[in-house]
Amino acid sequence: MTDESTTNCGPACEEALERLESFLDGELPEEDLGVIQQHLADCHPCTDRASFEEQLRSLVRHKCVDKAPPALFDRVRAHLGDAALG
Ligand SMILES: [Zn+2]
């Protein structure tokens, strides 16, 4: 029995987060989709992460990045890379 921090519950989380972008893009095959959805249903940190990513995508999509707080902007850049903002 492990008692990991709430920010990372283990390999399942890493796997889920690795696929999160494809998940949000709707590019995951159905078998992976089910795995991610099941994980998000059980894992609050990953649910938070997924909803954060979704908000980022919405910001980028609507070109509202300039209006985002600098701290958020830094997180966007760090996570998505410069290409996503171009
Ligand atoms: Zn997780």
| Number of compact structural domains in the chain | 1
Considering the entire predicted model, what is its pTM?
0.60
- Is 63 within 8 Å of 33 (Cβ atoms)? no
Where is average pLDDT lowest: 19-23, 68-72, 80-84?
A: 80-84
- What does the alpha-carbon distance between residue 45 and residue 8 come to, in Å, rounded to a whole number? 7
User: Is 55 contained in some domain?
Assistant: yes
For residue range 39-63, list pLDDT tens digits in order. 999 999 999 999 999 988 888 887 7
User: Is 4 contained in some domain?
Assistant: no
- Write down the pLDDT at residue 67: 64
What is the chain's mean pLDDT, rounded?
Answer: 79
- DSSP per-residue string spanning 2-50: ----TT---HHHHHHHHTHHHHHHT-S-HHHHHHHHHHHHH-HHHHHHH
Query: 33 C-alpha to center of ligand 1: Å?
Result: 14
- Write down the pLDDT at residue 44: 92
User: Is 3 contained in some domain?
Assistant: no
Query: 79 C-alpha to center of ligand 1: Å?
Result: 17
User: Is 56 contained in some domain?
Assistant: yes
Domain range for 53: 11-85
Query: 78 C-alpha to center of ligand 1: Å?
Result: 20
Query: 76 C-alpha to center of ligand 1: Å?
Result: 20
Query: 22 C-alpha to center of ligand 1: Å?
Result: 16
User: Is 5 contained in some domain?
Assistant: no
